[in-house]
Amino acid sequence: DADVTQTPRNRITKTGKRIMLECSQTKGHDRMYWYRQDPGLGLRLIYYSFDVKDINKGEISDGYSVSRQAQAKFSLSLESAIPNQTALYFCATSESGNTEAFFGQGTRLTVV
């Protein structure tokens, strides 16, 4: 089983719909991140969390919200999806003080 699991792996949704992307980890890491990947733009940070009581906005948080339900679970929501949110989304984890981040396999989201 993967250490960082994202669900769903692929999703097509309509403009205006609410959608939630889920991430769970078995690594026991305290830090979790959500990134968005678009061609030519690299990985851009949406939100990050130090622990269940700590949520921080990244560089492109508008239109997104997150929930850290437990140390192992970090969900990303699009309250009202729009076509320019079509992208590949990655969840990642890292341990406090550790430089290596571990990524999930990604969720390919298409908003039509």
Partner 1 sequence: GQSLEQPSEVTAVEGAIVQINCTYQTSGFYGLSWYQQHDGGAPTFLSYNALDGLEETGRFSSFLSRSDSYGYLLLQELQMKDSASYFCAGRSDTGFQKLVFGTGTRLLVSP
Interface contacts to partner 1, rule CB under 8 A: 31, 33, 35, 40-45, 48, 50, 54, 56, 58-59, 90, 92, 94, 99-106
**Residue 21 half-sphere exposure, CB side, CA atoms within 13 Å?**
33
At 64, the amino acid letter reads: Y
Task: Choose between 49 and 85: whose C-beta lies nearer to partner 1.
Answer: 49
| In the complex, minimum distance from the CB of residue 14 to partner 1, in angstroms, rounded to a whole number | 25
Task: Choose between 71 and 80: whose C-beta lies nearer to partner 1.
Answer: 71
| In the complex, minimum distance from the CB of residue 112 to partner 1, in angstroms, rounded to a whole number | 21
| In the complex, minimum distance from the CB of residue 92 to partner 1, in angstroms, rounded to a whole number | 8
| In the complex, minimum distance from the CB of residue 67 to partner 1, in angstroms, rounded to a whole number | 18
Could you give the CA distance from residue 35 to residue 46 in angstroms, rounded to a whole number? 5
Task: Choose between 72 and 90: whose C-beta lies nearer to partner 1.
Answer: 90
